[in-house]
A = this chain, B = another copy of it.
């Protein structure tokens, strides 16, 4: 630590990647009467597990994605129940108390049960109904969840994935509500819709560019696991999860969309940063060596893929000392922090301490950019307009939440069904490929 390094208490923390385990009543006030019977719903099965369903499509599970505060012996992967997670996972008032207890001022929340790109809501058989449900999700998210504490949440909407004009219209509707972020798939082609190279998405990219909306590509939002073989241990795909963001970054570096949308920004959500300098070096090498036959060109005075990264791509990390040690390879205006609450990778409730140690060698002004200033700028978010900056520090927020117990006592120990469930999930792509 340098002499002017901030202490853990002095940090101001805005996370650009958290999650909501959506509450079971989320659609109640937001789906028009005529569509109510087709709204997604939570069902409890014979074993007592609770699960979201959209028509006949199963949502993502409630298990591993809601372990905040649990000791490793309580990480239950299997679909779970609301009673098995701390209320801060699904109740906005408790969420804000948990954030305060973790010293965190604000967060951008991704969906959970509809998939991280909201893809389950785009995959229903009746697209008219899908659009109603996507808009209902967004209305709930922006007008109910985020609006309850506007200084604590950066809104992030979903868009329909089957029609780029409809997606563009939804971006404009969201922007009118003040949202400056949408979640977009890390690889739409893997979801069975056109790739970012196809031209299909130009209306969406145009709307985002016009409205200053960032496209956030969350790890795992292509519904593709990173498993190597059917019998590999569970830890293999968990170790490889950042690899899905490498595919996304490579796609973005070599896309021709920058010729048409010179102001667009993408964010690599939950991708970490420690591998990025290497991959940029590799990409620049590919351009140097292979431009003779690929004939790839870059717009706007850029002449290599790392220029695209530095201008157009935002990135973030949870707890990445390797990345911080080589952070000067990145554009420091585009690096942000994330918590990932309430998922298993989150550093909650100890982020202030881990960040104070990890960032201690950096300039104080740079630490401010990474921990909150960059997020405020990219997402046009100003919590200080509502809450005085000195009340936004980790120390001040924790002082308001001294009664929060950060150890989660509800839940159950994992068992064979958890391993079986994870195996089913992580080998889906491998088994699909065999068919």
- Give the interface of A toward B (CB within 8 A): 71-77, 187, 189-190, 195, 197-198, 226, 228-236, 238-240, 242-243, 246-247, 250-251, 253-256, 272, 274-275, 277-279, 281-283, 285-294, 296, 305, 319-323, 325-326, 329, 344-345, 414, 418-419, 429, 432-433
| Closest B residue to A234 using CB positions | B294
Contact assessment for B231 and A195 in the assembled complex, using a CB-CB cutoff below 8 Å:
yes
Contact assessment for B235 and A293 in the assembled complex, using a CB-CB cutoff below 8 Å:
no
Pick from B198, B282, B283: contact of A272, CB under 8 Å: B282
Contact assessment for B189 and A229 in the assembled complex, using a CB-CB cutoff below 8 Å:
yes
Pick from B233, B242, B289: contact of A345, CB under 8 Å: B289
Given known A250-B228, A282-B272, contact A235–B290 (CB-CB < 8 A): yes
Q: Separation in Å of the A260 CB from the closest CB of chain B?
A: 15
In the A-B complex, list the 5 residue pairs whose CB atoms are closest, starting with the nearest: A72-B292, A274-B278, A189-B229, A293-B414, A195-B229
In the bound complex, residues from chain B placing their C-beta under 8 Å from that of A344 are 289-290
Pick from B197, B231, B238: contact of A197, CB under 8 Å: B231
| Closest B residue to A323 using CB positions | B278
| Closest B residue to A251 using CB positions | B228
In the bound complex, residues from chain B placing their C-beta under 8 Å from that of A272 are 278, 282
Contact assessment for B72 and A291 in the assembled complex, using a CB-CB cutoff below 8 Å:
yes
Contact assessment for A187 and B229 in the assembled complex, using a CB-CB cutoff below 8 Å:
yes
Contact assessment for A75 and B290 in the assembled complex, using a CB-CB cutoff below 8 Å:
yes
Kindly name the residue among A190, A198, A278, A322 whose own CB sees the greatest number of chain B CB atoms within 10 A.
A278
Q: A233-B294, A275-B278 are in contact. List 11 more A-B contacts (CB 8 A).
A: A72-B289, A190-B229, A197-B232, A233-B255, A233-B296, A238-B290, A239-B283, A275-B275, A289-B344, A290-B344, A322-B326
| Closest B residue to A237 using CB positions | B250
Pick from B242, B277, B286, B292: contact of A239, CB under 8 Å: B286
Cα-based distance from A287 to B288 in the complex (angstroms): 39
In the bound complex, residues from chain B placing their C-beta under 8 Å from that of A285 are 319, 345
| Closest B residue to A72 using CB positions | B292
Given known A197-B231, A229-B187, contact A281–B274 (CB-CB < 8 A): yes
Contact assessment for B278 and A197 in the assembled complex, using a CB-CB cutoff below 8 Å:
no
Pick from B235, B278, B432: contact of A254, CB under 8 Å: B235
Contact assessment for B254 and A286 in the assembled complex, using a CB-CB cutoff below 8 Å:
no
In the bound complex, residues from chain B placing their C-beta under 8 Å from that of A274 are 275, 277-278, 281
Contact assessment for A293 and B418 in the assembled complex, using a CB-CB cutoff below 8 Å:
yes
Given known A74-B292, A254-B239, contact A322–B234 (CB-CB < 8 A): no
Given known A232-B251, A294-B234, contact A242–B433 (CB-CB < 8 A): no
Cα-based distance from A191 to B432 in the complex (angstroms): 16
In the bound complex, residues from chain B placing their C-beta under 8 Å from that of A234 are 290, 293-294
